[in-house]
Every structure is written in structure tokens, then in C-alpha cells.
């Protein structure tokens, strides 16, 4: 894998070539080399298009060029750009597939770096302890990613450069249409009876995708659970928003929509006496039926256990509620 770093398009400097040696775990060790143009190479202008004017573009972008027929001497080429506008790349003639994404986001690690179709962002584990929904006991608890943007090109044709143009004047333009790779879910409780400032509340949603694979244009098939805190709002409700890669698909995601995993919402609370209470809701149909980019799961009323003067539960309240999807609004 060869990795090259490029300065901003406004103050363009010649790229500095870096040799990337794949480690056993898939990482890269970089060794700085002096710039040496590749014989027969072509200067490529890389551009990123942001269609939504309300979006604040990220500050750093990375592009991976995957040779259509990789060889020992023709491996994945990576360019990093310290701008959301683009810059110059330098490639040997041939056919490539390309993936770009913002590199200033966290919460995930890159996997499958050698393959256009296997390349993906995999969510990191989260060190959160809370009740797990029935039916999702085998899912790992993952953290939320930052905002992730991605663009793909199935075919990038780099012709032989016979123009004699200097490297500062690119002869090929590669343009990526950037799209959001994440989906946000908000959980809102309009009225939480018996809630007080000593109560610590969280919500978790299961059946979410543990990874996203731009080359496949789909999520991975590992279901995970993601949790978030619920905080009081100015109108007296409790609310929290999580960033996810969307639904998990149980089938093959290379063009097949597959079967989406079920979704269970768990509302948990650490009460003033230190005991944990939780309620489980099956929200599968609600989530799958929503066509919104940012679904809101709303509970009109949630009754928390009362804590008696001795610090125990009142006997009429159970620690675990069965819940009902009918209590959830979108």
C-alpha cells in the first residue's frame, strides 16, 4: 500500500510519497521518501462535491484508489487531503475503483483495506454497562461514530499521459459526490414520572449495523447495540440522540437488501438508591416503517419505580417491564 500526502488546493505543494508497509494487524508503517515522479504517471485532480449547502464540510479527507487488477507492483494508493475541496493525486495509468471518506472522524476503525468491496468502517467497542434487551444478548455494545461522509467511484480510468503537461497541471479530474454514511436516532420521553436529578438514565437500541462498507453501498451483517444518555430538556422531557450506521442487514450486502435485524429499545435508570431498573420495547416495525433520515422514538409517559424512605422499591413496582411497541411514537 502506498500512501501520499497532499497539501491544500490553494497552496499546492508537490506530493511527498510515503511507502506504507502493511503490518500483521492491517496497520501501516510509513517511511518518508524524497519525491520521485513515477515514469508514465498521470497527474489527477481530485474534487469533492457537497450537494447540501447546510453541511459544514469536514477538515480532512482520504481517498483510496484500488487497482482493478492489483499486482505486487500495483497496490492500493492512498491520498490524504487537509481540505474538503480536494487537491492533486499522482497515479499510474490503468483502471481503478475509488473510495473517499473524511478522516477527521472517530469512533471506528478501518477494515478490509486491501479490497474495494471489503473496505469498511467498523464501530469500536463501548465500555458501557447497562441491561441488555431480550433477543439481543449476543450483540456487542458499540460506541457511536462521529459524522462520517463517503463517496465511491466504481471506475476511474487513468489514461497514458501523452500531453507533456507538468505535474502541477492535472490532465484527469476525479470527482466524488459526498453523502452522509450515518443515521441519527433520537429517543424522547415526554413525561418521566418519579424522575429526579439523582436518577441516571440511558437508552439503547439493538440491531444496528456494526460496520459500513462504501464499496458495497451497504452496511455490514454484524448487529450491535448502541447506547446513549438521556438528559432533561428545557420543556421537561428527557432526550438523547445517537449516531449510527443505520440498520444491520442479516443477508449478503453486495446488492442484496437481505433481512434487517430486529430492534429492541431499552430504557434503563440508576435510581437514587443505586438500584438499576429497565424497561424493554420491541420497536422493530416502527423503525423499519420509518422513511425518515432521523427517526424519533417517543414515549409519552414512562413511570419509574418509587423509592421508599428506606431506599428500596415499593412492592407494587417490578424491576423489569415487558413494554409494548404501542407505547412508542415516531
Nearest alpha-carbon partner for 249 in 281, 282, 210: 210
Q: Quick check: do 2-105+146-180 and 183-329 share a fold?
A: yes
Which pLDDT does position 166 carry in this prediction?
46
Q: How far apart are CA 235 and CA 208, in angstroms?
A: 29
Q: Which triple of cell numbers denotes residue 219?
A: 452496511
Which pLDDT does position 228 carry in this prediction?
95
127: number of Cβ within 10 Å: 7
Q: Which triple of cell numbers denotes residue 104?
A: 477527521
Residues whose CB is less than 8 angstroms from the CB of residue 293 and which lie 6 or more positions away in sequence, other chains included: 183, 184
Q: Which triple of cell numbers denotes residue 192?
A: 418521566
Nearest alpha-carbon partner for 23 in 98, 114, 94: 114
Which residue has 504517471 as its cell numbers?
Answer: 41
Global pTM? 0.78
Which pLDDT does position 98 carry in this prediction?
97
Which pLDDT does position 21 carry in this prediction?
29
Is the domain spanning 183-329 CATH 2.60.40? The answer is yes
Q: Which fold has domain 2-105+146-180?
A: Immunoglobulin-like (2.60.40)
Residues whose CB is less than 8 angstroms from the CB of residue 197 and which lie 6 or more positions away in sequence, other chains included: none
| Cβ pair 32, 16 in contact under 8 A | yes
Which pLDDT does position 102 carry in this prediction?
95
Q: pLDDT (tens digit, 0 to 9) for every residue of the chain, 330 residues total?
A: 544 434 333 333 333 333 332 333 333 322 222 333 455 578 899 999 997 777 888 999 999 999 988 665 568 999 999 999 999 998 888 899 999 999 999 999 999 999 999 999 999 999 888 888 888 889 999 999 999 999 999 999 887 656 555 445 567 899 999 999 999 999 999 999 988 877 889 999 999 999 999 999 999 999 999 999 999 999 989 999 999 999 887 644 344 455 678 899 999 999 888 889 999 999 998 888 877 788 999 999 999 988 764 444 333 333 333 333 334 544
Nearest alpha-carbon partner for 32 in 18, 21, 20: 18
Which pLDDT does position 323 carry in this prediction?
37
Which pLDDT does position 40 carry in this prediction?
58
Domain ranges of the chain: 2-105+146-180, 183-329
Amino acid at each position: 500500500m502506498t500512501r501520499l500526502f497532499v497539501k491544500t488546493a490553494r497552496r499546492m505543494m508537490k506530493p511527498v510519497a510515503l511507502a506504507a508497509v502493511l503490518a500483521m494487524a492491517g496497520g501501516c508503517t510509513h517511511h518518508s521518501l524524497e519525491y520521485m515522479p513515477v515514469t508514465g504517471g498521470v497527474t489527477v485532480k481530485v474534487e469533492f462535491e457537497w450537494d447540501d449547502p447546510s453541511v459544514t464540510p469536514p477538515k480532512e479527507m482520504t481517498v483510496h484508489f484500488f487497482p482493478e487488477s492489483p499486482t505486487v507492483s500495483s497496490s492500493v494508493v492512498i491520498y490524504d487531503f487537509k481540505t474538503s475541496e480536494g487537491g492533486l493525486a499522482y497515479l499510474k495509468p490503468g483502471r481503478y475503483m475509488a473510495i473517499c471518506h473524511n478522516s477527521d472522524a472517530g469512533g471506528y476503525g478501518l477494515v478490509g483495506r486491501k479490497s474495494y468491496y471489503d473496505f469498511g468502517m467498523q464501530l469500536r467497542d463501548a465500555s458501557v454497562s447497562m441491561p441488555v434487551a431480550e433477543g439481543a444478548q449476543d450483540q456487542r455494545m458499540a460506541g457511536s461514530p462521529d459524522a462520517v461522509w463517503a463517496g465511491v467511484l466504481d471506475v476511474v480510468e487513468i489514461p497514458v499521459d501523452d500531453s507533456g503537461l507538468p505535474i502541477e497541471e492535472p490532465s484527469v479530474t476525479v470527482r466524488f459526490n459526498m453523502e452522509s454514511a450515518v443515521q441519527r436516532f433520537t429517543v424522547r420521553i415526554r413525561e418521566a414520572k418519579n424522575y429526579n436529578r439523582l436518577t441516571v438514565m440511558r437508552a439503547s437500541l439493538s440491531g444496528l449495523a456494526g460496520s459500513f462498507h462504501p464499496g458495497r453501498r451497504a452496511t455490514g451483517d454484524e448487529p450491535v447495540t448502541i447506547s446513549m444518555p438521556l438528559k432533561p430538556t428545557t420543556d421537561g422531557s428527557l432526550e438523547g440522540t445517537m449516531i449510527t450506521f443505520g440498520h444491520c442487514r442479516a443477508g449478503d450486502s453486495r446488492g442484496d437488501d437481505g433481512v434487517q435485524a430486529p430492534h429492541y429499545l431499552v430504557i434503563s435508570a440508576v435510581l437514587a438508591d443505586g438500584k438499576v431498573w429497565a424497561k424493554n420495547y420491541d420497536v422493530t416495525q416502527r423503525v423499519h416503517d420509518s422513511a425518515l433520515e432521523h427517526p424519533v422514538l417517543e414515549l409519552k409517559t414512562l413511570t419509574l419505580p418509587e423509592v421508599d424512605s428506606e431506599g428500596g422499591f415499593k412492592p407494587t413496582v417490578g424491576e423489569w417491564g415487558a413494554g409494548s411497541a404501542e407505547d412508542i411514537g415516531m
